[in-house]
Structure 1
Amino acid sequence: MVENGAGRDRLARVLRPVRAGNGFEEALEQILQTIRLGLVRHGERLPSERELAGRMGVSRVTLREALKVLAEQGLVVSRRGRYGGTFVHSPEPPAEGARLGAEVAEVEDALRFREVLESGAAELCAVQGLSGVPAQRLRTAMEAAGDAEPADYRRQDTLFHLTLVELADSPSLTAQYTAVRARVNELLGRIPLLVRNLEHSQAQHAELTDAVLAGDPERARRAAREHCQGTAALLRGFLT
């Protein structure tokens, strides 16, 4: 159990209000961190849905979606009855300190660099203004990602983002982005595909495309950053 004062103090280090825009991804990240850090150990019960939702500032529906993912991954089990709730089940043992530190630093570096490059590319595209063939390329790539089957989603998602960066018309930026995107894709290949996240990602793709084609640099940068931060939250939760 973690429902005593000491347990609540420990959880306060991880569970906090999420930012607007990526509620599901950030809620999942925080619960995963709680488990990975051993703040709630194997066989112990997580706080109630009401408390978790309140701490993170998300709806009960969003919280339940996150808990469902954890159950599907075998990290929690739900039990009914008077002594029921959601219990941590067989989390992976923590990595050795040095290796974990290196992994966290590597993941953070890749995620931050991706965000900087992609938000910059989105802003440049919006400033330059896309019309005609370039605008159609971006729309087509966005729609292809939305229509993709789960098995092909990550390839189409990559093509959408590469198209956006290429349209910024900076070979140096494209080269740097291609390298960091390869690293991000390797990390994404180590976590499960989540339908809820794919739906959210496609909505963000549409917002990003609309902002770029509307010639709104600030909105385009904001949309790109928010999208990158959602992906980053998932990767941090599962991998670090």
Structure 2
Amino acid sequence: MPVEFESVVTVSAAKQIADTLRAAIMDGRLKVDERLPTEEELAQRFKVSRPTVREALKRLAAQHLIRSRRGPTGGNFVASPAPEDAALSLANATTLMVAVGDIQLDDMATARLELEGVCCRLAAATRTDAQLDAMRTELARQRDVSLTDEEFCASDVRFHRALVDAAGNSLLSFLMHAVVEALQPVSNMIIFRVRERQAIVGFHERILHALESRDAEAGVAALADLVDYTRDRTRAALDRRAERVG
């Protein structure tokens, strides 16, 4: 049975159409891989022009809710959820919120400790040898004194990504994407001049050894010490910046 849509007013019509279609997708009235009506059909149903419909479809495509396919059997189809795209969108939004001050760095540190602490407990029980090897590889890189600051920060992110993956929980992995992929690089950018690499390496060694021995509490304790160190170094970096500005 065709999905029924109500007509919309012309002001911000493209947004209203996109919102209406998005709601139909989210509540299951439009199924994954289902073909949407043509632009002409949608224009008639919503009583708007085809360019307005086209703009609405562009909005949905930008949100990764629909995909286009060319050819005789082509058209616009409801997209299958892509966790990577959704996680990237979440990370980008989080980075922006930190940049404009909507998320405070102290809140960021608290959220990281609580969420990654859960991951650490799960990882102590579920980690695989391959995941431990990934963490060991990054730890070996971090001990290389010739590593640039950018390379060290990238390795830092990969280490914690491996820890999160070792938890074996897809929802936590999705949520932690915002912390590991967005907030951690922001934090690294602030503190890289005032932190000691060997201190970071030391915390990472403790976390890895805890996971190797399946000692969840030791891993969480090491993580807490790392977050406290990062929080302290962040404050020091911001104080130094304020002194220069003042």
TM-score (norm 1): 0.52
My pick for the range that moved more, 184-193 or 169-178, is 184-193
Distance 1:153 1:206, change over 3 A: same
Instruction: Give the Å deviation of 1:104.
Output: 9.6
Instruction: Give the Å deviation of 1:121.
Output: 1.2
Distance 1:107 1:132, change over 3 A: closer
Cα pair 1:212 1:220 within 8 Å, conserved: yes
Q: Determine if the alignment matches structure 1 residue 238 to structure 2 residue 237.
A: yes
Work out the CA distance in 2 between the residues paired with 1:218 and 1:111. Answer: 19
Of 117, 126, 135, 1:138 maps to: 135
Higher relative contact order (Cα pairs below 8 Å, separated by 6+ residues) = 1
Q: Determine if the alignment matches structure 1 residue 107 to structure 2 residue 105.
A: yes
Give secondary structure in 2 for the equivalent of 1:189.
Answer: helix
Q: Determine if the alignment matches structure 1 residue 185 to structure 2 residue 185.
A: yes
Tell me the alpha carbon deviations over residues 127-160 of structure 1, each in whole angstroms, 9 at most, x when there is no partner: 23x3432222222222223236133111111110
Tell me the alpha carbon deviations over residues 18-58 of structure 1, each in whole angstroms, 9 at most, x when there is no partner: xxxxxxxxxxxxxxxxxxxxxxxxxxxxxxxxxxxxxxxxx
| One-letter amino acid matched to 1:175 | F
| One-letter amino acid matched to 2:187 | L
Work out the CA distance in 1 between the residues paired with 2:129 and 2:189. Answer: 35
Cα pair 1:145 1:153 within 8 Å, conserved: yes
Q: How does 1:85-234 map to 2 (within 5 A)?
A: 103=101, 106-128=104-126, 130-147=127-144, 149-151=147-149, 152-181=151-180, 182-194=182-194, 197-234=196-233
How many residues of Structure 1 are paired with residues of Structure 2 in the alignment? Answer: 137
| One-letter amino acid matched to 2:223 | A
Bigger radius of gyration among the two: 2
Work out the CA distance in 2 between the residues paired with 1:146 and 1:123. Answer: 26
- Percent sequence identity over aligned pairs: 21
Distance 1:137 1:187, change over 3 A: closer
Cα pair 1:145 1:156 within 8 Å, conserved: yes
Give secondary structure in 2 for the equivalent of 1:190.
Answer: helix
Work out the CA distance in 2 between the residues paired with 1:178 and 1:145. Answer: 21
| One-letter amino acid matched to 2:184 | V
Work out the CA distance in 1 between the residues paired with 2:191 and 2:132. Answer: 32
Cα pair 1:141 1:160 within 8 Å, conserved: yes
Work out the CA distance in 1 between the residues paired with 2:107 and 2:192. Answer: 22
* Structure 1, unaligned runs of 5 or more: 1-101
Q: How does 1:10-29 map to 2 (within 5 A)?
A: none
Work out the CA distance in 2 between the residues paired with 1:191 and 1:134. Answer: 27
* Structure 2, unaligned runs of 5 or more: 1-99, 240-246
1:86 paired residue number: none
Q: CA RMSD in A?
A: 2.2
Distance 1:164 1:220, change over 3 A: same
Distance 1:141 1:191, change over 3 A: closer
Give secondary structure in 2 for the equivalent of 1:169.
Answer: coil
| One-letter amino acid matched to 1:109 | D
Cα pair 1:150 1:193 within 8 Å, conserved: no
Instruction: Give the Å deviation of 1:103.
Output: 4.7
Cα pair 1:115 1:229 within 8 Å, conserved: no
Tell me the alpha carbon deviations over residues 163-194 of structure 1, each in whole angstroms, 9 at most, x when there is no partner: 11111111221222121231232233134434
